[in-house]
Amino acid sequence: MGLLDLNLHNKHPLAEIFRADFPALDNNVYLDSAATALKPQTMINATVEYYAHHTATAQRSLHQDALKVTAAVDEARQSVADFIHSQSSHEIIWTRGTTESINIIAQSYARPLLQVNDEIIVSELEHHSNLLPWLIVAKQTGAKLIKWSAEVNELSSLLSSKTKIVAITQMSNVTGFCPDLAKISQLVHQYNAILVVDGAQGVVHQPIDVTTLNIDFYAFSAHKLYGPTGLGVLYGKQHLLEQMDVWQGGGKMLKNASFLGFEVEELPYKFEAGTQNIAGILGFQATLSWLKKWDEAQLDCYLKQLVTYAESKLAQLKHIQFFQVKNSPIISFTIENIHHNDIAILLSEQNIAIRTGELCAKPLMDKLGCHGVIRISLMPYNNQQDIDSFISALQNAIELLT
């Protein structure tokens, strides 16, 4: 493996430096990053700094701290636009997370548009956050939800003049499968439909260019990208966001109001009623700046080799069944005749964090023919010792349970 050899006596220097930025790793083996990524010290410091020394709201007061916070929030919005290659920061809306972002699309864009017998195509891979909002709006409007396997060839046969929206994940949180967004986008737009992409899992593992891919709406959560919880991003093409109804009413999303009505603010503020998660936004800005200092290619290469190592160790276990795409940082599996939650409990007692269950993807579990899985999810802050500790604890758990 050369420079990136995973032998414990020849640790990858860049990965070790990267790992050192995450204080939470001092106490446990963390293999649940698909649920939420650990936070670098830089992000933690930025959040503490705001609460300790610069507590002020944005877009409101005119005192010095408030003006600085407003400028910092605007800078963070531009950083997100640059990160996903949006054409304008006005296309970036702050939300509470991917879930809220997709609900905004469903209620503010889809609900006024859809009519009886219009069709929404949703893949079987989806997290409940990219399924339930479409079920809700279909019931509200009389539109039909069409199930799709996420294969490009099948999509061609499902698309028609009735198709208004196609919703797809960038990366499955169960199998790690990554659909071909370029081909999907091309097909969807041939029918003048709208493409909605759930980037919650994919944004941390794949570079995304919403403009080149011609994605209409893109949503992700900061906490899966080393950022704070309670903060999400909704990207939408400007002309689509401009035509959409507002999602919530409240402070700073309006230009004028009376008892006869109100006039909405321009983008992006029309969708940001009330006080935003300012500490989270500033923490996320620090995270995005921190990410720029790392060699992504080297970290990705290291992660792929770590995944290969984990797969090879797991493959040696008896009665294991994998539910994953090869070489994915998301590894889901079951052990025959052992309940997944029993494994999680025994590993937790040894300070090893994993995820088990249906992973908020019940329809996909039904398709896979299982009631839940054991999932480990890796990041470049993991190392071979984490894998070895996990494998040893897993073997012990299996022995206890059989």
Burial of 190 (0-12, 13-18, 19+ CB in 10 A): exposed
- Identify whether the C-beta of residue 298 lies closer than 8 Å to the C-beta of residue 13: no
Task: Reduce the DSSP state of residue 318 to 3 states and report it.
Answer: coil
Strand-pair partners of 197: 168, 218
Task: Reduce the DSSP state of residue 25 to 3 states and report it.
Answer: helix
DSSP 42-87: HHHHHHHHHHHH----SSS--SHHHHHHHHHHHHHHHHHHHHHT-S
Task: Look up residue 325 and give its DSSP letter.
Answer: -
What are 223's two structure tokens? 């906490």
Tokens 């992700």 -> residue:
220
301 among known catalytic residues: no
Give CA–CA dist 376/387, Å, rounded: 10
What are 22's two structure tokens? 């995450």
Kindly name the residue from 178, 301, 360, 370 that is annotated as catalytic.
Answer: 360
Q: What element of type H or E holds 366?
A: helix 362-368
Count of C-beta atoms within a 10 Å radius of residue 3: 11
What are 74's two structure tokens? 């605007």
Residues belonging to the active site: 360
